[in-house]
Structure formats: structure tokens, C-alpha cells
Amino acid sequence: MGADEAVTPLTIQARVPGAAPPPQVLRGPARSPATGALRPVVAGIGFRHATTPDEILTLVAAGLRQADLAGARLSALATAADRAGDSAIRAAAETLGVPVVAVAVEALREAGRRVVTRSARIEASRGVGSLAEAAALAAAGPDARLVLPRIASAGATCALAASGDDLPS
């Protein structure tokens, strides 16, 4: 993708109305029990306006290392729909070769019922305890589980989620 090409954000809407399952964190590597293959992992990103692409990239790499998923297949960067067009996340996604997933407010709030981290500031401004966790969970699907709860740098947060389609409960 050239410098003149824009990353087209995908939009995720709320998928499952009603009560969400309790928060769960996937323990160990995000592997499919059936095949043992690494699942695609979604990185949920929250960030301030002055955050650089390098800070986002460094945080995603640190998250993958902390979750023991350095070789995992990152499938997307997910963030709030109103931030998905920001140049920092678009440049980070381009460097990683993944799309930016724009998560609608309703989907963030639905997934927000399953987050394990609570920030009073983000809860007041966004209606979810952790934007990064909610975005990762929403983009990874209705049965997704956190692989790594939110980690933070000076200007960004990152959480990792994988599909829970065939995970044991």
C-alpha cells in the first residue's frame, strides 16, 4: 500500500443484544484446541491525539511478547469508529499490513460488559472501562476472549483478543 492510499476502516456494529457473558481472559497461547494452530489476534488500541505510529507499533509488539504470541498472526488493529481515520493508527496498520477496524459506539459498549480493566476517565468519556479491551473483543467476534488485558504507554493502550469460537469454557 502506497503512501497516497488510505486505509479503509471496517465498521463493527453491536452483534448480540442483551446480557453478555462474564469477563474471561484466555490463558496461555491463543491456539485452536482442534488444530493447535495460532488463532488470528486482534489488537484493540486506545490512543491520544498526539500519539505517534511508532508508539502504537511498540505497544503492540510489547503486548504480543507479554502474551507469548510473538509469532501470532495479527489480523487487525481495532479502535473506536471516531478515531479509526487518525493518521497514527492508519500508519501503524499499514506498517503491520493489517486493516483498521472501526468499532461503533454500540459495539464498544456491548463488548465493554466483558472488559476486565476499569479506567474511570475512559468510563466517563466512552462508557466502557477500557477502550482497548472493548475494541479488541468487539472486533474479534461475539465469542472472543481477551488474550492480554490492557497495557499502556504514555499515549496509548493496547489489549489483545482472539476468537473464542472453539475455546473451552
Domains observed in the chain: 41-159 (3.30.420.180)
Spatial separation of the C-alpha atoms in residues 39 and 25, rounded to whole Å: 15
pLDDT tens-digit series, residues 156-169: 999 999 987 534 34
What's the pLDDT band for 14 if we cut at 50, 70, 90?
very low
Q: Which residue has the higher pLDDT, 160 or 36?
A: 160
Spatial separation of the C-alpha atoms in residues 138 and 164, rounded to whole Å: 12
Query: Residue 33 pLDDT > 70, yes or no?
Result: no
What's the pLDDT band for 119 if we cut at 50, 70, 90?
confident
pTM of structure? 0.75
Compute the mean pLDDT over every residue in the chain, rounded to the nearest whole number. Answer: 78
Residue-level length of the chain? 169
Stretch 32-50: mean pLDDT: 75
- 4: burial class by Cβ within 10 Å (0-12, 13-18, 19+)? exposed
Q: Which of 25-34, 50-59, 94-103 has the lowest mean pLDDT?
A: 25-34
Give the per-residue pLDDT at 111.
Answer: 77
Give the per-residue pLDDT at 115.
Answer: 80
Q: With beta carbons less than 8 A apart as the criterion, state whether 6 and 39 touch.
A: no
- Helix or strand or coil: residue 149? strand
Give the per-residue pLDDT at 120.
Answer: 73
Q: Which of 25-29, 39-43, 76-80, 94-98 has the lowest mean pLDDT?
A: 25-29
Query: Residue 37 pLDDT > 90, yes or no?
Result: no
